[in-house]
Amino acid sequence: MKKLSVGLIGVSGLLGRHFLQELAHHPWFELTALIGSEQTAGKKLCEVLGSDYDLPPHLLEMKILSSEEEIPATLLFSAAKGEVAGPLETKLSNRGYRIITCARPHRLEPTVPLLIPEVNQEHLSLLENQKGGWIVAKPNCSVVGIALALKPIHDLFGLEKIEVTTLQALSGAGLPGVASLDILDNVLPNIAGEEERIVLEPRKIFGSFQDNKIIERNISIGATTTRVPVSDGHMAIVSFSCQSKPTLSTIIDAWHNFSPLNALDLPSAPKKPIHYSSDALSPQPRLHRMRENGMAVTTGRLRSSPHFDATFILLCHNALRGGAKGAILGAELLYKNQKCL
């Protein structure tokens, strides 16, 4: 395939650095533009990151552009922070640019797909409702893993009720991160804004595309979010009930047989998006977060629950599957379907 020219909005944060690493040698995409803030525009990337950063020399020498300049790229990835991402992405989209964003401001807008390629690629039909360019949003990093693990269950049995408790890694806080004296020998029992995102976003993700819009799925969702002293890898304890009651064996079979993207041969797609482990000590971040290059969800400890149909624990690499590589996988799907041209 001819390489697609792509740009990156936001290069200095943790998410931006993951994008740089993943795009530097991507087989389908060529990074041709970097877009930064007033503080970074006009500088070379090496001046922002440091010349010893593990990137090709031509990228380190690339000049960072202002968002006001013409951007030589067909598709833009946005790693901008939430407080600036919304208006910046809207402005660029109005100028005709196509954007895949990891930021939260556009996620629940009616015309913006909230995309997980294995879960709801039919929602990309919403792009026909956007004028000028377009915006595709990646869900919250915890929601990505939760929705992936629940998708095959929902398809077979129809989700009605979900209760989630997350144990979220430090990298999810970005840079400069969590103060060391707050998290050492400690667990933080709340992450501002996260519980609302876990409650709202799956309803859109599992919604059906009808009459040129998304009809949200009426699922009762409760959430508790915590920050734990782990570098990478968000975990979640998930309990759920369905319209028809599944057996534990049918849940495991549904996870095992779930591979909706294999025929497309996308470079970042895992062969098996969900790996179930029967080991009572699985999943663990140190052991399983890099499964399938960080793109697979690991589930374990599946068991019956007194107040739900079943409970399990999942692990998802928040910075890769839930972050940069998840967004890049969405771009691969769009490019394969010729929606970036």
Query: Which residues belong to the active site?
Result: 141, 234
The C-alpha atoms of residue 299 and residue 96 are separated, in whole angstroms, by: 41
Take residue 303 and report the two structure tokens written for it.
Answer: 């068991």
Cα angle vertex 233, ends 231, 236, to 5°?
130
Residues 107, 195, 140, 240: is their CA dihedral positive or negative? negative
Beta bridge partners of 274: 297
Give the C-alpha separation, 107 to 197, whole Å: 10
Going by C-alpha positions, the residue among 166, 162, 163 that lies closest to residue 218 is 162
- How many angstroms from the chain centroid is the CA of residue 89? 17
Structure tokens at 261: 């993207």
Whole-number Cα distances in Å, 106 to 78, 134, 280, 328: 12, 11, 39, 18
As a whole number of angstroms, the distance between CA 111 and CA 128 comes to 9
* Tokens matching residue 321: 């599957």
| Contact of 22 with 324, CB cutoff 8 Å | yes
Please tell me the distance from the alpha carbon of residue 127 to that of residue 94, in angstroms, as a whole number: 13
- Which helix (H) or strand (E) is 86 found in, with range? helix 82-94
- Three-state DSSP class for residue 93: helix
Contact call for residues 311 and 246 (beta carbons, < 8 A): no
Measured on CA atoms in the order 172, 288, 230, 226, is the torsion positive or negative? Answer: positive
Interatomic CA distance for residues 131 and 128, integer angstroms: 8
